[in-house]
Amino acid sequence: MIWIWFGVRILDFRIMSKDYYNILGVDKNASQDEIKKAFRKKAHQYHPDKKGGDEAKFKEVNEAYQVLGNEKKRAQYDQFGSAFEHAQAGGGFHGFEGFRDFSNFSEGFNVDMSDLGDIFGGIGDIFGFGGGRGRARTKKGADIQVSLTVEFNEAVFGAEKEIRLNKTVQCDKCEGSGAEPGSKIETCKTCGGKGQTTRTQRTIFGNIEVQMTCSDCSGEGRAYSQKCAKCRGLGVYRDTVNLKVKIPAGINDGGVIRLTGQGEQGRKGAPAGDLYIQVRVKKDARFERVGDDIVSEADISFTQAALGDKIDIETVDGPVKLKIPEGTQSGTSFRMRGKGVPHLKGKGPFGGAHGKRGDHIVKVHVKTPRNLSRKQKKLLRELGI
């Protein structure tokens, strides 16, 4: 709730907002690592491609992370609470700089509402007045969320994959301007090149002249004698794009890769959104991943368990000899150091660091012999084992 004192009048702006901390299921004092972990867990839970997923909740979780995962945006959100989302649309809160005395209202007066937006840190934008001056701000393109499936070994060692996207891209004919090459560029006659027009609007302050984005030039202040034939004056068009993606070594199932600027292209030269790739890792019948360790099982004979032996163990690096000491009991686990998954934050070619890996744990099972001959049974009895 925001209370603003205008002389003897109090305006109460009740603005409903989302509780981003509650959406991610974290405390308000949560660290950035805790927020990131919570986001990954929720994104994995609600991803639309997953059975039982929920697209609406997935987008809500992503929205929450875009704010809380950014230190600057989080600080603004924590400071201004429910007004944060609206302030973001108008450029953010900047504090009540240069407060003016409006105790003597007249029934009709002329106020530059862009100035009001500056005075009250963007609150003018909450009412639709617009807090910016000059030409309209360009709107960033939308983010894209996709899923990519990789093999178990590709997640362990990293890989380069190619994905195919259908998205808006910048028009290569007009280079995003929206004008047909060679066409005449003129000053917009409607706004006189300002990018904004003025109209009178009745508000809680009385009759006010409000500056609005020019509808004819979309705030550019320019008009073209001919629109680009390829993009129809939008500066963008839909196209199929092949994109190479590096999968970092050690990424886990459900991990998300963010590629800045690879989302939908914004119109008229506006920046592109981001691409979020959620990685799905196929299961391997031979291995189970536990953190950065890999777990597998092996069967050994009664003789091998009693007398000891060396056996071949299949690892992600290929076959490795494992020494079985004499007297090994069924269910014993052996650890092979450095044969597991590279740590994700390492500095190897795809993210994993050389030498910084988890372990491979082998759990052995002793096979009890069956269908013994009389002689074999007699020998075992003589041995007393």
Q: 79: helix, coil or strand? A: helix
What is the structure's pLDDT at 371?
Answer: 85
Q: Which residue has the higher pLDDT, 16 or 276?
A: 276
What is the structure's pLDDT at 144?
Answer: 95
- pLDDT per residue over 22-69, tens digit each? 999 999 889 998 999 999 888 888 887 777 788 888 888 888 888 888
Average pLDDT in the 319-330 region? Answer: 96
Residue 15 DSSP class: -
Average pLDDT in the 334-347 region? Answer: 86
From CA 161, how far away is CA 149, in angstroms rounded? 10
What is the structure's pLDDT at 17?
Answer: 61
What is the structure's pLDDT at 125?
Answer: 40
Average pLDDT in the 219-248 region? Answer: 88
Percent of the chain past pLDDT 70, that is, above it, reads 75
Of 308, 302, 291, 306, nearest to 361 by C-alpha is 291
Banded model confidence at residue 226, pLDDT cuts 50, 70, 90: confident
232 CB contacts (<8 Å, ≥6 apart)? none
Chain mean pLDDT for the chain: 78
From CA 244, how far away is CA 253, in angstroms rounded? 20
Contact 145, 60 (CB under 8 A): no
Measured at the alpha carbon of residue 301, what is the angle toward residues 295 and 307, in degrees to the nearest 5? 105
Q: 310: helix, coil or strand? A: strand
Contact 264, 142 (CB under 8 A): yes
- pLDDT per residue over 266-281, tens digit each? 987 789 999 999 999 9
Contact 280, 44 (CB under 8 A): no
Distances (CA, A) of 201 to 118, 169, 287, 311, 370: 19, 38, 68, 85, 93
Low-confidence winner among 55-69, 130-144, 252-266, 370-384 (lowest mean pLDDT) = 130-144
85 has a pLDDT exceeding 70: no
Of 76, 110, 69, nearest to 91 by C-alpha is 76
317 has a pLDDT exceeding 70: yes
Banded model confidence at residue 84, pLDDT cuts 50, 70, 90: low
Residue 369: Cβ within 10 Å count: 12
Would you state the structure tokens that stand for residue 226, as one six-digit string? 């001919």
Banded model confidence at residue 8, pLDDT cuts 50, 70, 90: very low
20 CB contacts (<8 Å, ≥6 apart)? 63, 64, 67, 68, 77
Q: 290: helix, coil or strand? A: strand
From CA 312, how far away is CA 320, in angstroms rounded? 6
Average pLDDT in the 309-313 region? Answer: 96
108 CB contacts (<8 Å, ≥6 apart)? 206, 207
Dihedral sign, Cα of residue 17, residue 23, residue 29, residue 30:
negative
From CA 282, how far away is CA 250, in angstroms rounded? 14
- pLDDT per residue over 186-213, tens digit each? 888 888 888 888 877 766 556 777 778 7
Domains recognised in the chain with CATH numbers? 137-183+227-281 (2.60.260.20), 288-383 (2.60.260.20)
From CA 124, how far away is CA 13, in angstroms rounded? 12
